[in-house]
Structures are given as structure tokens and as C-alpha cells.
Amino acid sequence: MWNDEKEHLDTMERLAAKHNVPHTVFSPIFSVAAYALGVGTALLGKESAMACTVAVEELIGQHYNEQLKELLADDPETHKELLKTLTRLRDEELHHHDTGVEHDGLKVSAL
């Protein structure tokens, strides 16, 4: 999953540069928060880390689906390559979700 995530970040960075999308001023905060979430849940154990993975990847999959719907509604032919890329990334994220489920990510319950 780690290698996929590094590749996803690289892909999104390239797309942002290609389409002149600026970083938000909150990007450093998001990076620290994401790292802390990963480390924090890992410290709680494998099941907690996998529960976090399941929750995060589910949300990311939903976000990709919303973006894909918007692009399809706008002009599928114009966005053909972007749709292909985002669909691949979404599918890989959902595979991470499924990996989390397979590794007991649903065994952790909220208190």
C-alpha cells in the first residue's frame, strides 16, 4: 500500500502542476495530521491501523466517485485521460480498503 500511496501522491502532484492547481496553505497541516493519524493508529495495534485504513479509504473512494461523476457530467471525451487516471487511483484505494477489511480492520469498534 505504501508504494501505491507514494505513486498516488506523485500522480496528483503532476496533475496539479499540469492544470495549474495551487497548493492550499493548509497542505503542511494536512501532511502532519495524516502522518500523526497513521502513527497514532499504528501505535494502538494492527487492528486499529487497519480500521483507520478502512475508514480513510472508504471516504477517499467516495470522494473519487464524486469527482468522476462531475467529470462524466461535464464532458467525458474531453476528460477521457483524467477519468482513466482517477478511476485507476480510486480502484487502488478501494483495494486498500479491502486489504484493511481482510486484516481485521472491522474488528475495532468505537467506544
Task: Name which of 76, 69, 65, 86 is nearest 15 in CA terms.
Answer: 86
Query: Which pLDDT does position 108 carry in this prediction?
Result: 81
Give me the pLDDT at residue 25, please. 95
Band of pLDDT at residue 111, cut at 50, 70 and 90: very low
Please give the Cα distance from 101 to 96 (Å, whole number).
Answer: 9
Q: Reduced to 3 states, what is the DSSP secondary structure of residue 23? A: coil
* pLDDT above 70 (res 26): yes
User: Residue 109's pLDDT is what?
Assistant: 66
pTM above 0.85, yes or no: yes
Q: How confident is the model at residue 110 (pLDDT cuts 50, 70, 90)?
A: low
Q: Which residues of 30-60 are buried (b: 16+ CB within 10 A; e: fewer)?
A: eeeeeeeeeeebeeeeebbbbbbbbbbbbeb
Q: pLDDT (tens digit, 9 = 90+) per residue, 43-71?
A: 999 999 999 999 999 999 999 999 999 99
